[in-house]
Copies of this chain bind each other. A is one copy, B any other.
Amino acid sequence: MATIGDVARAAGVARSTASYALSGRRSVSDEVRERVRRAARELGYTPNAGARTLATSQTMVIALLARFLPDEFAPAMLQYIQGVSDSALEAGYDILLSSDPYGPAALKRITDSRMADGVVLLNVAEQDDRLPVLRSAPQPGALVGLPGDCTGVDVFDLDFEEAGRAMVEHLDALGHRELILVSQPEHVIERGGAYVWRLQNAALETAAARGVTLHAAYGSSSQPDIGRELHALLEAHPGATGLLLNNEAAAAALPTVMHERALSAPADLSVVGRYSDEFARSFSLPFSSIDAAPHRLGRMAVRQLVRRIEHQPTADGPHVVRLITPELLDRGSTAPPPDRQ
Interface positions of A (Cβ within 8 A of B):
1, 44, 46-51, 53-54, 59, 61, 64, 68, 73-75, 77-79, 81-82, 85-86, 89, 94-99, 101, 106, 108-110, 112-115, 138, 222-224, 227, 249, 252-253, 255-256, 259, 278, 281-284
Check A50–B114 contact: CB distance below 8 A.
yes
Report A105 CB to chain B, min CB distance, Å: 10
Contacts A74-B282, A78-B77: A54 and B50 contacting too (C-beta < 8 A)?
Answer: yes
Q: Is the CB of B98 within 8 A of A282?
A: no
Answer whether A73 and B282 are a contact pair too, CB < 8 Å, given A256-B256, A259-B256. Answer: yes
Asked if B79 contacts A94 (CB within 8 A), the reply is no
Contact A99 B82 (CB under 8 A): yes
- Total identical chains: 2
B282 touches A115 (CB 8 A): no
User: How far is B281's CA from A171's CA once the two chains are assembled, in angstroms?
Assistant: 32
Least Cβ–Cβ distance between A251 and chain B, in angstroms: 10
Q: Which residues of B contact A115 (CB under 8 A)?
A: 49-50, 94
**Residues in B neighbouring A138, C-beta threshold 8 A:** 1
The complex places the Cα of A92 from the Cα of B323 at a distance, in Å, of 37
CA distance A99 to B84 in the complex (A): 10
Residues of B within 8 A of A222 (CB): 281-282
Q: Which residues of B contact A98 (CB under 8 A)?
A: 85, 94-95
> Which chain B residue shows the least CB distance to A223?
B284
The answer to whether B114 and A252 have CB atoms under 8 Å apart is no
User: In the complex, are the beta carbons of B94 and A95 less than 8 A apart?
Assistant: no
A46 to B81, CA, bound (A): 28
Chain B residues positioned under 8 Å from A73 (CB to CB): 282
Nearest CB on B from A35, distance (A): 21
Contact indicator B54/A227 (Cβ below 8 Å): no
- The CA-CA distance from A85 to B102 in the complex, in Å, is 13
Q: Output the nearest chain B residue to A50 by Cβ-Cβ distance.
A: B53
Q: Which residues of B contact A86 (CB under 8 A)?
A: 99
Least CB distance, A195 to chain B, in whole angstroms:
20
- A90 smallest CB distance to B (angstroms): 11
- CA of A61 to CA of B249 in the docked complex: distance in angstroms? 35
A156 to B131, alpha carbons, bound, how many Å?
Answer: 38
Task: Flag if A96 contacts B97 (CB, 8 Å).
Answer: yes
Give Cα A227 to B98, complex, Å: 38
Residues of B close to A259: CB separation below 8 A = 256, 259
Residue among A47, A78, A283 with the highest chain B CB neighbour number at 10 A: A78
Does the CB pair A223–B281 fall under 8 Å? yes
In the bound assembly, the distance between CA atoms of A109 and B60 in angstroms comes to: 13
Tell me the complex Cα distance, A53–B54, Å.
Answer: 9
